[in-house]
Amino acid sequence: MYARLSSVMFPIFTLMFVGAIVWGYQEHQEKNSVLIKAENQYQRAFHDLSTHMGRLHDQIGETLAVSSVSHGMQRKGLVNVWRLTSQAQNEINQLPLAMLPFNKAEQFLSRISNFAYRTAVRDLTKQPLTTEEVKMMKSLYKASDDVNRELGKVQDAVLKDRLRWMDVEVAMASENGPRDNTIIDGFKAMDKQMGAYPETDWGPSAMSSDRKLSTSGLDGKQMTPEEIRRKALEFLGAQARGGEVSVSEDGSKTDMPAYTVSVQGSGGATIQLDYTRKGGHLLWFMNPREVKSRKINFDTARNKGSQFLVRHGYPDMTPISYDEYDHVSVFTYARTIDGVKIYPDKVTVRVALDNGEIVGLQARDHVFAKKLLTPGKPKLTKEQAQKGLNPDFRVENHSLSLIENDMRELTLCHEFVGRVNDHRYRIYLNAETGLEENIEQLTDAEKSLFK
């Protein structure tokens, strides 16, 4: 009996064993294929990074080499600097460096990119490079040379010792293992080298590109947790009735000390609000309750949003954009002064379409916006500015707006909304020069704002 059973089972187990070996081999091959593909992608991104950083150094040198009155060549060089920097940033993001402190290098490249872009788009015939900017570019040229030297050491080691980027990923993922990997050490040195560049030498073009928010300039006194708790409950009203409230402090050692308030809402969801510690200004409010249906229309939702803003101390706000998802309307409002929309001073309101309840507010831009008393007067009339539009552009709406241009300067504009090429656009023409400052394509959902 046992002989008969073994004669039947032995071939079956043999087939299963062989099948397991074949399956394991195929899995191993597929895994190797994936690893080889990932390694190839890492190697390509790294060597492209090395190439573009070298070309970036050369391009800065070429831009410095041209005559100070060769504005066209200066602009061309700065555009190339911006392009190469953007490519280098993209390639860094493709490398397995997420767990490696690399913020100084990323900030360094971001500042170069912003400086090059904002300088290239301005009229260099009227605003040529300043002495400080040229001096900064010379220092930047030297700094990029030092960075390339560090990067070259890493590249030489990669090629000479056939180093693998997959080993970098494993070394960085290890919680307790030593991080003395050659590539990791090289990039740490590169990050340190970039961080050594002085922050104060970036000139006016990049001054606002790295703009940091700080509560030091806000009005009001330093608030206590209990005062913030009362403000939150007053703001929420019925939404917080009977709910448990907790207040925690965030960012106490930063430029943005704030309080976070968590409230158990009447619908079961946890409502959160952020307030600045100085002045107790509301930055953000979110009620994440589920909205299952749509029962109110666009006009009702807009009215609910506008009434909410007036009720909570945001008067003279005009809706400027609209979106809708998951049965929630999202309106962005800009402050209006003398009929002029002040785009940098804005808030975003989320309206639930089942009952019109306000379930979200983003007011950070409003809190930190420069408070203006008057937007100024346009030099050009609507009719004069309209001559600068495409002849095929059919104007549907016009207003005056104050926007930030590419240099982040407040600029008064004629805002025209209309259609061309079967799409609706919002075009901003400088109210002094008539030149286009910006253009935006509007969504189908936003057409209701301009009826």
Q: How far apart are CA 50 and CA 91, in angstroms?
A: 10
The CATH number of the domain covering residues in 216-289: 3.10.450
Q: How far apart are CA 381 and CA 212, in angstroms?
A: 36
**CATH level 2 (architecture), domain 291-369:** Roll (3.10)
Total residues found in the chain within this entry:
451
382-450 CATH choice from 3.10.450, 3.30.1490, 3.90.550, 3.30.420: 3.10.450
Q: How far apart are CA 389 and CA 47, in angstroms?
A: 46
Bridge partner list, 246: 262
2-65 vs 131-161: helix axis angle to the nearest 10? 150
Quick one: pLDDT at residue 242? Answer: 67
Q: How far apart are CA 159 and CA 371, in angstroms?
A: 57
Cβ-proximal residues to 309 (8 Å cutoff; 6+ apart), any chain: 315, 317, 333, 347, 349
Quick one: pLDDT at residue 360? Answer: 93
Tens digit of pLDDT at every position of the chain (451 positions): 555 655 656 566 666 666 666 566 565 555 656 567 767 777 787 778 888 888 888 888 888 888 888 888 888 888 898 888 888 888 877 776 654 555 566 777 877 888 888 888 887 888 888 888 888 888 888 888 887 887 777 777 766 766 666 665 555 555 444 444 566 666 666 666 565 554 444 444 444 444 566 777 788 899 999 999 999 988 988 776 767 888 988 877 777 888 999 988 766 778 899 999 999 999 999 988 888 889 999 999 999 999 999 999 998 999 999 988 889 999 999 999 999 999 999 999 999 999 999 999 999 999 998 888 888 899 999 999 999 999 899 999 999 999 988 777 899 999 999 998 888 999 999 999 998 888 988 887 777 776 6
Quick one: pLDDT at residue 341? Answer: 95
- The DSSP result for 269-296, as a single string, is -EEEEEEETBTT-EEEEE---------S
Cβ-proximal residues to 190 (8 Å cutoff; 6+ apart), any chain: 105, 147, 150, 151, 154
- 333, 386, 340: which is closest to 362 by C-alpha? 333
Bridge partner list, 420: 423
Q: Is the pTM of this model over 0.75?
A: no
The H or E element containing residue 411 is strand 410-420
Cβ-proximal residues to 277 (8 Å cutoff; 6+ apart), any chain: 215, 222, 223, 249, 257, 258, 259
Rg value, the chain, Cα: 29
DSSP code of residue 234: H
Is residue 81 within 8 Å of 59, Cβ to Cβ? yes
Max CA pair span of the chain: 107
Q: How far apart are CA 8 and CA 19, in angstroms?
A: 17
CB count, 10 Å around CB of 297? 11
The H or E element containing residue 402 is strand 394-404
Question: How big, in percent rounded to 5, are the helix, strand and coil portions of the chain?
Answer: 50, 20, 30
Q: How far apart are CA 103 and CA 92, in angstroms?
A: 11
| End-to-end CA gap in the chain | 91
Distance set, CA 256 to CA 213, 261, 274, 280, 368 (Å): 7, 16, 11, 12, 11
Quick one: pLDDT at residue 24? Answer: 60
Distance set, CA 309 to CA 100, 173, 312, 320 (Å): 44, 48, 5, 14
Q: How far apart are CA 342 and CA 375, in angstroms?
A: 8
Q: How far apart are CA 267 and CA 270, in angstroms?
A: 9
